[in-house]
Amino acid sequence: MAIKIGITGGIGSGKSVVSRLLEIMGIPVYISDMEAKRITHTDEVIRRGLCDLVGSDVFQDGELNRPLLASYMFGHPDHVKEVNSIIHPQVKEDFRQWVIRRGSEPLVGMESAILIEAGFRSEVDFLIMVYAPLEVRVERAIKRDCSSRELVMKRIESQMSDETKRNHADYVIVNDDETPLIPQVLELISLLSKNNHYLCPAKNN
């Protein structure tokens, strides 16, 4: 069974960048946001649950009305819990199947901003927190999503604090635009794969 690495961190911390580096180095990563989108689109139980909760407008022409769901959720902690309880159990099950299909891989990853809140901590063997100072995260998310400070702050407020995340994590990767990122990722891989050997010895002695 593959060693499972969880990659978490708040919005704009750089989880996707770290996951991309891991993938480039041959480690498959389950991107929970992306998979949650796919499952929400295809799973009849989730579609019905969201329509009952938010109203039938939450799907338009069969597509998830993302701005509507985002405005229903963020800023309303009870709504976040309700929506999460519809989507996350299906994501957890999907991840388990995904891992089984990658049984021959030595290492796999799961990336999620809300890995701990979603109850996925016990699904992974090691948890990496990607850290960046709040202001850096806010600026990155505004720029990336062409969003406003207010909307980004609402998402941050619906996520666990960095201090609490850090207490659950085994290692922290600092992605503050100053500390070099790639050496940290390389060190992480070498630490977790110390029993895996990729290089062939030149001589059989």
Ligand X SMILES: Nc1ncnc2c1ncn2[C@@H]1O[C@H](COP(=O)(O)OP(=O)(O)OP(=O)(O)O)[C@@H](O)[C@H]1O
Chain residues in the site for ligand X (CB under 6 A): 9, 11-17, 33, 113, 140-141, 144, 175, 177, 181
Cα–Cα distance between 117 and 160 in angstroms, integer? 7
**Could you say which of ligand COD, ligand X, none residue 144 binds, taking C-beta under 5 to 8 angstroms by partner kind?**
ligand X
What's the min distance (Å) between Cβ of 144 and ligand COD? 9
Beta-bridge mates of residue 8? 129
81 touches ligand COD (CB under 6 A): no
- Binding residues for ATP, by number, are 12-17
Nearer to ligand COD, 19 or 158 (CB): 158
- How far, in Å, CA of 165 to CA of 57, rounded? 34
Kindly compute the dihedral angle of the four CA atoms of residues 66, 21, 19, 139, in this order, to the nearest 10 degrees.
Answer: -50
Choice from 46, 58, 80, 192 touching ligand COD (CB under 6 A):
80
Contact mark string toward ligand COD, 95..134, x via CB under 6 A: -----------------xxx---x----------------
Q: H-helix or E-strand containing 59?
A: strand 59-60
Instruction: Choose the contact partner of 158 out of ligand COD, ligand X, none; CB within 5 to 8 A by kind.
Output: ligand COD
Contact between residue 29 and residue 22 where contact means Cβ atoms under 8 Å apart: yes
According to DSSP, residue 14 is labeled S
Residue 42 backbone phi and psi in degrees, to 5: -105, -20
- The item of ligand COD, ligand X, none sharing an interface with residue 175, based on CB under 5 to 8 Å by kind, is ligand X
Q: Which two tokens stand for residue 166?
A: 């850090």
Total number of residues binding ligand COD (CB under 6 A)?
A: 20
Q: Is 57 in the site for ligand COD (CB under 6 A)?
A: no
Closest CA to 49 of 18, 10, 90, 3: 90
Give min distance, CB of 87 to ligand COD, in A: 5
- Token output for 57: 């407008």
How far from the centroid of its chain's Cα atoms is residue 139's Cα? 19
Query: What is the contact surface with ligand COD in residues (CB under 6 A)?
Result: 11, 32-33, 36, 40, 66, 69-70, 73, 80, 84, 87, 91, 112-114, 118, 155, 158-159
